Structure 1
Amino acid sequence: MPTLPPEGARPPEREPHRHRDIAESFGTDAERYDRARPRYPDALVRRIVAGIPGPDVLDVGCGTGIAARQFQMAGCRVLGVEPDARMAELARQTGVEAEIATFEAWDPAGREFDAVVAGTAWHWVDPVAGATKAGQVLRPGGLLAPFWHVAQPPPDLAKAVAAVCERVMPDALFNFRAAMTRPAVDIYQTQFTRIADGMRQVGGFSDPEHWRVDWECSYTRDAWLEQIPTQGAFTRLPPDKLAEVLDGVGAAIDGMGGNFTMPYATVAVTATRTGTS
């Protein structure tokens, strides 16, 4: 059974899970989030379901239930854990059972699962505490499988967006220039490595694997502007600043003919719970 290492064993670096103000800001407009955020590739959902010993799935940071509903459609019984009550309430309205808590503080009350998944949410979880809790609630042979969308905007759009954001948000936590102009998977690689290291550190898991599904999505100007306010860099922006960002990005998309195709890679870091208890 995985156990939590002593506090001093964990690095004191700044990590996404320490920024609770961002992590719990997505419910500002939960309906828009559910409407605008992309779904996950069916191929990834099928691969996860095919690799687990039973139908019970725990969805960490379930948000409005986007991934949870996909696993339900694949035949799974899903319980969501979500720290933002606004997001959890919408998940419930869409047929997903959701409990309100951070994963680290959540009480499983003796329940066990065949998979612990997290769609674009595990970076808000302490990678060691999260892997520890996952190991404690997974049945032997169960799968820990957090996954993320990694988008690579067209170069001209990326440069334009970076310029707009740097002008409107000069003091932002995010490095827009690096995020928009470097290969997206390279930027996320540090995060993936940290999460895999968390799994290794607690023990009780197989060696982590990286799974990847590549796909594309076509966006109109309006469809992409609908999604921007749901992203962590913008959820806390004052309305006037957000309007500036949307105007600038909209102008850039207009300059591309009003639409564009976004290449995505949906990447998972997976490990199987070992042992017999």
Structure 2
Amino acid sequence: MAESFGGDAERYDRARPRYPEALVRRIADALPGPDVLDVGCGTGIAARQFRAAGCRVLGVEPDARMADSARRSDPDLDVDVATFERWEPGERRFDAVVAGTAWHWVDPVAGVAKAVRVLRPGGLLAPFWNVADVPADLAEAVADACERVMPDSPFDFRAALTRSMVDGYQTFLVKAADVIRAAGGFAEPEQWRHDWEFTYTRDAWLDVMPTQGAFTRLPADGLGEILDAAGAAIDARGGSITMPYATLAVIARRS
């Protein structure tokens, strides 16, 4: 699944939400220098935001299609094609290792060990995620459609869609901080949170959904049925939906 997003990289770059400028600036202002390594950089969404904040950014991305999209989006952005675990930094060192909605694809122990290796003293390890709590009516409609289209899936769509995703990610962040703490080489990890919201038109939200991991490999007819269900739920709301987001980060400074 981690390498499925490049099947429609243009849509991914167009539809996926950006990260709060306040978070990007907060990280950039806390760095001892300008050099940022963006792990799982995808199409360069976070990388471009950090470059706009004055950082020099190198991306590492396992999917060559996503890496090509990132380079096209910013000709001055360099991207190495590799998983972070297998990527070889050579003598390159960085003031931050960031990962925008990507660290969950990295082996946590190996990823932290690599971050220790490539960070300069005082640099930050800063994985962060955009997490949406989908409104209940839309969540139920999509869960119903997923159960019809994918009845044999091991994934519990109803539980995932109808419970608080923010609460679930908070548990994940606690575990990520535990791994960082156990690895050594870092000061005590912190959790940062930025709350925001975004109002989507029907078409805009239906553009986001095919970029989500549960749907990237679905046949067109199955995806269409799920999108139709989501569209009907949004139509019932008047044609738009306001999505509450929390951007959650684990921040640890290299000692």
TM-score above 0.5: yes
Q: Which whole-Å deviations, capped at 9, do the CAs of 1:139-194 have from their partners, x for residues lacking one?
A: 00000000001101112111111111122122234322112221221111232122
- Structure 2: which amino acid aligns with 1:161? V
Residue among 235, 254, 258 paired with 2:239: 258
Q: Single out whichever of 141-150 and 155-164 deviates more from structure 2.
A: 155-164
Distance 1:173 1:120 in 2: 23
Counterpart CA distance in 2 for 1:149 and 1:191 is 13
Aligned position for 1:127: 108
Identity of aligned residues (%): 71
Distance 1:76 1:238 in 2: 40
Quick check: 1:208 aligned with 2:192?
no
- Residue 59 of structure 2 corresponds to residue 83 of structure 1: no
Task: From 24, 28, 31, give the equivalent of 1:52.
Answer: 31
Query: Partner amino acid for 2:104?
Result: H
Separation in structure 2 between the aligned mates of residue 80 and residue 172 of structure 1, nearest angstrom: 33
* Unmatched runs of 5 consecutive residues or more in structure 1: 1-21
Cα 1:125–1:69, aligned 2, differ >3 Å: closer, same or farther? same
| Structure-2 separation of matches of 1:157 and 1:185 | 17
Amino acid at match of 1:84: D
Q: C-alpha offsets along residues 230-270 of structure 1, whole Å, 9 cap, x if unaligned?
A: 00000011111111111111111111111010000000011
Unaligned 5+ runs, structure 2:
none
Q: Deviations over 1:202-241 (max 9, x none)?
A: 1101111110000000001100000111000000111111
- Give the alignment of 1:93-108 within 5 angstroms: 93-95=72-74, 96-108=77-89
Whether 2:36 is the aligned partner of 1:63: answer no
Matching residue's letter, 1:107: E
For the residue of structure 1 that corresponds to 2:178, the secondary structure is helix
Normalised by the size of structure 1, how large is the TM-score? 0.89
CA separation in 2, counterparts of 1:193 and 1:170?
Answer: 32
- Distance between the aligned counterparts of 1:236 and 1:206, measured in 2? 40
| Distance across 1 between alignment mates of 2:91 and 2:154 | 39
One-letter amino acid of the counterpart of residue 131, structure 1:
V
Give yes or no for the alignment of 1:153 onto 2:134: yes
Equivalent pairs, count: 253
The code of the aligned residue for 1:121 comes to A
Matched with 1:167 is 148
Q: 1:113 aligned to 2:94?
A: yes
- Higher mean Cα deviation, 136-145 or 164-173? 164-173
Aligned residue identity for 2:192: W
Preserved CA contact (<8 Å) 1:85 1:100: yes
Deviation by residue 1:111-145 (Cα, 9 ceiling, x = unmatched) = 00000000000000011100000010000000000
Q: 1:224 maps to which residue? A: 205
Stretches of 4+ aligned residues off by more than 6 angstroms:
none
Partner Cα separation in structure 2 for residue 181 and residue 23 of structure 1: 23
